[in-house]
Structure 1
Amino acid sequence: MGFLSSFLLLILAALIALVILLVVGSIYMDATQTEIPPGVEQPAKVHIIHVGTVGMALLGKIFENLRICSQIQVIRYLQNRGTQGKDSRLFKKDVKFKGVPVRIYQPKAPSAGRRKGIVFFHGGGWVVGSIGTHDKMCCYFARESKSVVVSVDYRLAPEHKYPVPLNDCLAATTHFLEAAEDHGVDSGQVIVAGSSSGGNLAAAVCQALAGRSGLPKVRAQILIHPVLQAIDLNLPSYQQNRAVPFAFREQAASSVLQYLKGESSLLKEVLEGSHVPVTQKLQYQKWLSANHIPKEFKARGYNPPVTMPCKDDVYEAVKALSSPGFSPLLADDAVICQLPETCIVTCEYDILRDDGLLYKKRLEDHQIPVTWYHIANGFHGILGFFDSGWFSFPSAKKGMDDIVKFIKSL
């Protein structure tokens, strides 16, 4: 009995030590590796939330070092705890579209006619996130816009590399366009939407469907702080916000490589830009250049990077990053001009801000109607905190309501 008591005390002490290590480590990493500009909404609250996310990552790393499971698996598990709720005003149903798991959100209130439909792709850098982590967001869109929302649970990297997640999203969208009326949706009123990496998938799906015959046309696309290119990670927003939660510059490059290759070697080369031939960089300048970013967005500082010579072996390993399926900003003009009306949401304190600004310009140059919402005190992922109790941000709720206003206007 004495041995058992001693063993249990030892386990308890180890658990307490682990908790202390996580708390202290999280606070230390937040303090030393994070920059939260004073213009960010409620910076103290952002610090607290970030400490939690760092703790989650540290716990994952401990489990990985103990060879219990990978860090990514731990983060996925923790993110999905308690993320799903009930909404008495909606029907929810989990089904499959062409083998791809989806969750359908349908308002219970009767409708005078067929509803709008929204196909939604969650964020998470292609490696984490799920229909569960974005459940509240989809509930809100369905309830407030009186639309049928289909949230797609596409397969994730590194287990499933590019283009598997994109193909899942394309298959689910194609099925919904074909079967919209079976779900009480007007097939001519289907919107494709996504957040962060999901915004990348939404943009790529819309481009893949542009001009495709035999299918109803997508009515609009909604791109919430989207990833739209992986060629230049030295744009002003990448420099200014490189260490601002909740999307760090190095973390973003690592996620890109996990999506493409299933691992994140060549991180240094992608960050410095030596993965793209100089001739291609010159070709892309008409679409992808800091010169196209309005001056007010460079006010917090910008140093034009030194052009790095391309390493041929690196280019061969990651040349798919230059494809429109991965970098929708680089699509041909013939595709861009066929895209639907667009809503783009950007945040000032977000490395991806300039991706959204550059895509906005490309679309407008081709007379595509663009509604742009810019959250001046927002950070990456802020909309996910629109309804999180004490952790909520007023700008997040306003951003969600702006998107609903756009949906209703269609």
Structure 2
Amino acid sequence: MKSAAVLLGAFLALGAYYVYLPLPSTVSEPWRLMLLDASFRIAQQTCNLVHFLGLGHHLRVLNCMIGVFDQLNPQSSEGVKITDTQFDGVEVRVYEPSEKGDKTLKRSVVYIHGGGWALASARGGYYNNLCLIMAESLDAVIVSIEYRLVPDFHFPVQFDDVLHAVKHFMLPEVLAHYSIDPSRVAISGDSAGGNLAAAVCQEMTQEENVTNRFKLQALIYPVLQPFDFNTPSYQQNEVTPVLSRFVMVKFWIDYFNGDYDFALSMVMNNHTALDLDHVNPFRERLDWTFLLPSRFRKNYKPVTPTTGKAEIIQAIPELLDVRAAPLLAEREVFRLQPKTYILTCEIDVLRDDGLMYAKRLEKAGVEVTVDHFEDCFHGCMIFTIWPTSFSAGHHTRDSYIKWLSQNL
């Protein structure tokens, strides 16, 4: 009996050690967040083991696990019609609020889900719930794009899928079919979906033969650059819940079908060192010592190695492709962007990507709203349904929908 008690105590102590993670005092519901993060880490480590044993790609296995979990709490609404269809060969899910006798044209949001270009689904419970609430709250047609995922497909497939679907949707006859006002359409997305939304919005604003353009873009904790993995938010939140710096670097490598052997060098910014002349033209475009307010820079210092590894960019030239890294685009492109909303969270490695994008837009003359949450974490906006319902999710979602309602 005594031995069993000792073993139980040791097991509980080990479990508490695994779950516990130091968090800022501002974070809401810290222990729930620790449990969520521990669950993610267990799932990721299990999938990494499966990958190591040659039984399946870790991202494909992880997405299957997420898919099962995602269907635990399916959402529906009698007031919203849901249709699965295709736009120019790309799968989409369309949410249409009931007309209730109202024949006026509706506004619309094109939404692109996150998940590191590899995880989640437009049809999954979390994003289905978000789009249902958006359709009801905004009385708007929501188009959620089911782009193809890593590891079966790599950049630029995801970008091309979203671009093709968006171009099809913005055709006058398609907007008319869904009774949408062409002057009241927004593009939006979270995390990797925010990356795709920003990149496609940049592309659409530069195309001369586009009849209809977006009125707004709304980016939720977007990932916008793989150039500098030592911005203050990357340094501050290196091992933060849900999305650590190393995991984000691996998502980028998977997106480009690169070599994991480069990961540690990329964490140290060896892929953008000073002696690599071909990366220098991009350096000033994300100089966070200038683009970030002092309250976010804090006492962090830039990490800019004198010498680096040229072979990384040679093997993965996509690291400097603005279709993957919209923060690297030229000023002339930023000048063309529509009115923009950017939501950022303090407990997030990607915080500074969004803040720097906002600053570059402002410098280019674009109206920008930055909605920053000190107590929130990456990915929180979709965590509003059981068993992962967080107050942070409700606060960020409500603030996001409020801005859309007032501006779209």
Taking structure 1 as the reference length, what is the TM-score of the superposition?
Answer: 0.88
Q: How many residues align?
A: 385
Provide, for residues 49-75 of structure 1, a one-character-per-residue CA deviation record: whole Å limited to 9, x for no partner. Answer: 112222222332444455443322222
2:398 counterpart of 1:401: yes
Is the aligned partner of 1:115 residue 2:101?
no
Once the two structures are TM-superposed, the CA of residue 84 in structure 1 deviates from its matched residue by 3.5
Q: Does 1:180 align with 2:171?
A: no
Task: Give identity over the alignment, percent.
Answer: 30
Aligned to 1:8: none
Q: Which runs of 5+ in 2 are unaligned?
A: 1-10
Per the alignment, residue 19 of structure 1 pairs with: none
What residue is the counterpart of 2:358 in the other structure? 360
Q: Deviations over 1:92-122 (max 9, x none)?
A: 1111111111111111243441111111111
Change (3 A) 1:172 1:182: same
2:207 corresponds in structure 1 to 212
CA gap of 1:24–1:252, structure 2 versus 1, over 3 A, is farther
CA drift at 1:361: 0.4
SS in 2 for 1:265: helix
Aligned to 1:194: 189
Letter of the aligned partner of 2:398 in structure 1? D
Are 1:343 and 2:318 an aligned pair? no
1:12 maps to: none
Matches within 5 A, 1:64-213: 64-65=51-52, 67-81=54-68, 82=71, 84-110=74-100, 111-131=102-122, 132=124, 133-178=126-171, 179-213=174-208
Consecutive unaligned residues of structure 1, counting only runs of 5 or more, are: 1-21
Q: Does 1:53 align with 2:40?
A: yes
Q: List aligned pairs for 1:248-397, cutoff 5 A.
A: 248-261=244-257, 263-276=259-272, 278=274, 279=277, 282-291=280-289, 292-299=291-298, 301-385=299-383, 387-389=384-386, 391-397=388-394
Distance in 1 between the 2:14 and 2:60 partners?
20
Amino acid at match of 1:127: A
Which AA in structure 2 matches 1:283? P
Contact 2:269 2:304 in 1 (8 A): no
Secondary structure of the corresponding residue to residue 284 of structure 1? helix
Change (3 A) 1:126 1:263: farther
| Shift in alpha-carbon separation, 1:154–1:271, aligned structure 2, 3 A | same
1:163 alignment partner AA: P
Q: Which amino acid aligns with 1:254?
A: K
How many Å apart are 1:306 and its aligned residue? 4.1
Which residue does 2:7 correspond to in 1?
none
Q: Separation in 2 of the partners of 1:157 and 1:181? A: 34
Q: Is the 8 A contact 1:134 1:384 kept in 2?
A: yes
Shift in alpha-carbon separation, 1:363–1:120, aligned structure 2, 3 A: same
Partners of 2:79 and 2:16 in 1: CA distance: 40
Counterpart amino acid of residue 186 in structure 1? D
**How far is the alpha carbon of 1:139 from its aligned partner?**
1.2
Counterpart residue identity of residue 130, structure 1: S
Distance 1:139 1:169 in 2: 20
For 1:218-250, what per-residue CA distance to the aligned partner results, in whole angstroms no more than 9, with x for missing partners?
111110000011100100000000111111000
Q: Which moved more, 1:274-283 or 1:102-111?
A: 274-283
1 CA distance for matches of 2:12 and 2:311?
Answer: 42
Q: Is the 8 A contact 1:158 1:262 kept in 2?
A: no
Matched residue SS, 1:80: helix
Q: Distance in 2 between matches of 1:35 and 1:101?
A: 41
Question: Is the contact made by 1:232 and 1:273 (CA closer than 8 Å) also made in structure 2?
Answer: yes
Q: The residue matched to 2:92 in structure 1 has which SS? A: strand
1:242 aligns with 2:238: yes
Show the counterpart of 1:15.
none
- Cα distance, 1:168–1:263 mapped onto 2, change above 3 Å: farther
**Which amino acid letter does the alignment assign opposite residue 186 of structure 2?**
I
Change beyond 3 A, Cα 1:264–1:27: farther
- Please tell me whether the aligned partners of residues 19 and 35 of structure 2 are also in contact (alpha carbons under 8 angstroms): no
CA gap of 1:202–1:395, structure 2 versus 1, over 3 A, is same
Partner SS, residue 391 of structure 1 = coil
Tell me how far apart the structure 2 counterparts of residues 96 and 23 of structure 1 sit (CA, whole Å).
50
SS in 1 for 2:300: coil
Once the two structures are superposed, residues 241-283 of structure 1 have per-residue CA deviations (whole angstroms, 9 ceiling, x without a partner) of: 0111111000000000100125533112211112125345553
Q: Give the SS at the match of 2:96.
A: strand
Q: Quick one: structure 1 residues 200 and 27, their matched pair in 2 at CA, closer, same or farther if it must change by over 3 Å?
A: farther
Q: 1:323 to 1:26 in 2, by over 3 A?
A: farther
C-alpha spacing 1:160/1:29, structure 2 compared with 1 (3 Å)? farther
CA contact (8 A) 1:91 1:107 kept: yes
